[in-house]
Amino acid sequence: MSFFFLETTAFAKLFVRESGTEGLIRLMEGVEDNRKLISVATPLEIYAAIRRRERAGHVAPEAATTALEFLRAEAARMVQQPLTPGVMDAAHLLLDRTTLRWPEALQLGAALASRDMFPGTHITFISASTVLLEAAKAEGMETVEPSSLPTSVAEEPEAEE
């Protein structure tokens, strides 16, 4: 069984239209909610970013309210990896051997803990951060950068026979 762990920079693309949004939406539409994973901290990170953009005048209050309602609904549908001792231990180890900042280590640590929680399953780590994608690959995870995803059926590679 395959799972998809959306790190904050990827999950945010579901609420802010930018490069990779269409492809990520298309991918997520084909995945059951119980196979979509996020860190429990991810919705808070995105909530803070939306409010910050609203206060700076980059997002209208009505648009911020709509985005926050969508954020709450979408986050509630996904499996949220709690900040367990296993997540914290994984984050500490990542900080010891990489140049990740603590929020990045926490995200990848949550993905690694999820992988350990679901033995025998395949977890793809989705992020728009090159640094995090490289660190996840070094940890043996398959990775996807959202802007590399096809946005339409016409863009998908044809299956070889």
- Structure confidence by residue, pLDDT tens digits, 142-155: 999 999 998 864 44
pLDDT at 121 over 90: no
pLDDT tens column, 5-52: 999 999 999 888 889 999 999 999 989 999 999 999 999 999 999 999
Q: What is the pLDDT of residues 56-92, one digit of tens each?
A: 999 999 999 999 999 999 999 999 999 999 999 999 9
DSSP labels for the chain?
Answer: -EEEEE-HHHHGGGTS--TTHHHHHHHHHTS-GGGEEEETTHHHHHHHHHHHHHHTTSS-HHHHHHHHHHHHHHHHHSEEE---HHHHHHHHHHHHHS---HHHHHHHHHHHHHHHHSTT-EEEEE-S-HHHHHHHHHTT-EEE-GGGS-SSGGGSPPPP-
- Residue 58: φ, ψ to 5°: -85, -15
CATH of the structural domain 2-40+79-149, one choice from 3.90.1150.10, 3.90.550.10, 3.40.50.300, 3.40.50.1010: 3.40.50.1010
